[in-house]
Amino acid sequence: MEQAIYQELPVGSGPDIEGLFNEISKGFKGKPDELIPMLQRVQRALGFLPEQALLEIARHTGLSAARVFGTATFYAQFRFQPVGKYIIRVCRGTACHVKGSYRLLETIEDYLQATPGQMTPDGLFTIETVACFGCCALAPIMVVNDSVYGSLNRSKALKLLDEIRGREAGVHS
């Protein structure tokens, strides 16, 4: 459900953070100990935590903005930059490295013209690296949103990205 809110946003438009937060906040009582669940809920909806959303959370929970920002930045799970509709996670663990994940990552970076942490200008992709997905037997691994692709090589990865781009071009044409 949360993913649907994010996907309905037209590429390039800014989210209606106030409206979204008003919806989200209905599920909370506004207690300080709801801070982490609220941060998680906003990130699930938007893909990241915009500054305005953090200020709304501070207002709703009665916590100081410094406390909310401090907590959000403490945890690696939270992001502060917009992310693409498709998050491409490439494993950089030892087993995947030995099986060529560094070449895979380079190829994806070249193809998308983006580096880890950056969103592509069309808003479709963000590349991330992960230390290990815990399924090393399938190395090298790439995960696209929730779908895991194992035993990948560069041409399979590019084919997959091409398919996504083609599908999205069809959706927006």
Residues at the interface with ligand FES (CB under 6 A): 91, 93-96, 132-133, 135-136, 139, 141
Q: Compare residues 20 and 96 and give the one whose CB is closer to ligand FES.
A: 96
Q: How far is CA 169 from CA 16, 77, 106, 160, in A?
A: 25, 31, 24, 14
Q: Is the distance from CB of 135 to CB of 141 less than 8 angstroms?
A: yes
The neighbour count for residue 127, using CB atoms within 10 Å, is 22
Q: Which is nearer to ligand FES, 19 or 134 (CB)?
A: 134
Tell me how far, at minimum, the Cβ of 137 lies from ligand FES, in Å: 8
Task: Name the DSSP class of 32.
Answer: G
The residue among 49 and 152 lying less far from ligand FES, judged by its C-beta, is 152
As a whole number of angstroms, the distance between CA 21 and CA 66 comes to 19
Q: Which of 67/154 has CB closer to ligand FES?
A: 154
Residue of minimal CB distance from ligand FES?
Answer: 93
How far is Cα 30 from Cα 27, in angstroms, rounded to an integer? Answer: 9
Minimum gap (Å) between residue 14 Cβ and ligand FES: 36
- Could you give the CA distance from residue 100 to residue 154 in angstroms, rounded to a whole number? 9
